[in-house]
Amino acid sequence: MLSWDPRALAVLERLHGAGFHTVLVGGCVRDSLLSIPPHDYDIATAARPEQVLELCRDFRCVETGLRHGTVTVISQDLPVEVTTFRKEGDYTDHRRPDKVTFTDDLTEDLARRDFTINAMAWGTEGLSDPFGGQRDLSAGLIRCVGDPDRRFDEDALRPLRGLRLAAQLDFSLEEGTAAALRRHIPQLSYVAWERISAEFVRLLCSSAASRVLLEFPQAAVQIFPELGPTVGFDQRNPHHCYDVYTHSIKALAQVPPQPVLRLAALLHDVGKPPAFTLDEAGVGHFYGHPKISALLSEKALGRLRLDKVTLERTLTLIARHDLPVEPTRRWVGRWLSRLGADTFFDLMILKRADSLACAMPGGEREQIRRQAEALARTMLEEKACFTLKDLAVNGHDAMAAGLRGPEIGAALRSLLDQVAQGELPNEREALLSRLKK
Ligand code: ATP
Ligand code: MG
């Protein structure tokens, strides 16, 4: 039995009650049929945008895209996107239709939608499913509505939406859709980075991300050409049973679905191909690769328009992923303070995933990581000093001791390092005398 948010139904009933054919459509119908609670609601209606505004005047309405027929009706805090049934013209820019025309025919509106499972509608007359969405939903298939080459050519974001949906729902791509998708991946270059970024991060953080990325490496490489040389790169090293790309994706599968960890796992070894050397015994090595990975990733991630915290944390994890762990208070204190507690624990997660994706997951190293994590938790509970905020001296004290400009920050960081490692007590007198030196 399908169940809907009564706040969305209130909008549907308002338009339907005024005599306009009105339905719930797209993702909310798909998710409901899968018994997943919809996270947003779209309504399609024969009413024109001005009529929607008029009929819903006692709701708060936002004129989201009047020309394209969209009004957002806020129904008790739930934003419901109401779009007039429409047909689309040609897509000369591979991004947006040149023009849209309104129609009274629901099937025409469903025909412009991307995938069969997204082209179903539900209204008072029941389910409308002219393109076999239910069949594909039961078979776990992503299939384009109509000719896949044409549909991907129209809107270059659709291939990535298809992969994201496959990863989220753990669906496969129907054969013809998959083949066309591979042909159209390069056209992603027509799409704005903001839209690519939003879809790709959702793909990465989906339950079946690793399966989809292993099946369609060209999508990851299109977005991050830096990954290109990792695909099929033989590591020639007994510790590694996978090529660099496969190893990275296997590591990705082992970290929780959070942007920082998934991005770090994906990119942590991009520096391996340029760092590769072979010794006399014919064994491959990658000395210094984390630094190269971080440099390449900085360029790659810069394009994704991530927020600053996500970007910095991801780059820190990549740069430090090979840091040898020591289960001592000194080591744990140093890295808790240098990385911050969140990144410290994320680093342990990434290192664990990295080793699980190798030929011989080192049991001894896992033991050491567990000890370091336990120690970190104890030290955090002890409320020891790990941040400049907790330090018993501050910038004013450093200035009073005669330091100026960048010297101040450097001196405080150095004191914090020593305190966090247990070399100095976090006591004002001791720190002041050290500052004066
Ligand atoms: P989710 O909300 O989980 O991201 P969704 O399928 O609902 O998935 P929306 O972006 O909310 O995605 O879009 C709502 C509906 O609009 C889709 O189900 C689909 O019918 C249609 N749609 C969205 N983007 C496109 C597109 N690029 N091409 C064709 N139809 C699209
Ligand atoms: Mg949606």
Ligand 1, CB within 6 Å, residue ranges: 26-27, 40, 42, 113-114, 118-119, 155, 157-158, 161
pLDDT at 65: 87
- CATH class held by domain 224-381: mainly alpha
Contact partners, residue 262, CB within 8 Å, separation at least 6: 201, 204, 205, 209, 252, 255
d(CA 160, CA 215): 13
Q: What topology does CATH give the domain 388-436? A: Serum Albumin; Chain A, Domain 1 (1.10.246)
Compute the average pLDDT of residues 130-138.
Answer: 98
Task: Cite the residue boundaries of each domain of the chain with CATH code 1.10.110.30.
Answer: 140-222
Q: In a 3-state reduction of DSSP, which class is residue 260?
A: helix
Residue pLDDT, tens place only, 296-318: 999 999 999 999 999 999 999 99
User: What percent of the chain has a predicted confidence (pLDDT) above 90?
Assistant: 93
Torsion sign, CA atoms 208, 212, 214, 218: negative
pLDDT at 363: 81
What is this structure's pTM?
0.94
Task: Cite the residue boundaries of each domain of the chain with CATH code 1.10.246.
Answer: 388-436
pLDDT at 437 exceeding the cut of 90: no
Compute the average pLDDT of residues 214-226.
Answer: 98
Q: What topology does CATH give the domain 140-222? A: Hydrophobic Seed Protein (1.10.110)
Query: What is the pLDDT confidence band of residue 269, given thresholds at 50, 70 and 90?
Result: very high
Task: Cite the residue boundaries of each domain of the chain with CATH code 3.30.460.10.
Answer: 1-136
pLDDT at 66: 82
221 or 363, higher pLDDT: 221
Residue pLDDT, tens place only, 318-352: 999 999 999 999 999 999 999 999 999 999 999 99
- CATH class held by domain 1-136: alpha beta
d(CA 179, CA 190): 20
Residue pLDDT, tens place only, 158-212: 999 999 999 999 999 999 999 999 999 999 999 999 999 999 999 999 999 999 9
Nearest CA to ligand 1 atom 8: 27
Query: What is the pLDDT confidence band of residue 383, given thresholds at 50, 70 and 90?
Result: confident
Index of the ligand 1 atom closest to the CA of residue 202:
4
Point out which residues pair with 62 in neighbouring strands.
72
Nearest CA to ligand 1 atom 25: 114
Task: Cite the residue boundaries of each domain of the chain with CATH code 1.10.3210.
Answer: 224-381
Q: Nearest-CA neighbor of 23 among 109, 92, 89?
A: 109
Strand order across the 70-75 sheet: 60-65, 70-75, 78-84, 41-45, 22-25, 121-123, 126-128
Index of the ligand 1 atom closest to the CA of residue 155:
27
pLDDT at 349: 98
pLDDT at 163: 98
Ligand nearest to the CA of 168: 1
Query: What is the pLDDT confidence band of residue 68, given thresholds at 50, 70 and 90?
Result: confident
Q: Nearest-CA neighbor of 226 among 214, 241, 210, 244?
A: 244
Compute the average pLDDT of residues 58-62.
Answer: 97
Index of the ligand 1 atom closest to the CA of residue 110:
20
Report the run of H or E that residue 33 belongs to, with start and end. helix 27-33
- The whole-chain average pLDDT of the chain stands at 96
Query: What is the pLDDT confidence band of residue 67, given thresholds at 50, 70 and 90?
Result: confident
**Residue 275 vs residues 233, 238, 286, 291, 320: alpha-carbon distances, Å:** 12, 17, 5, 10, 16
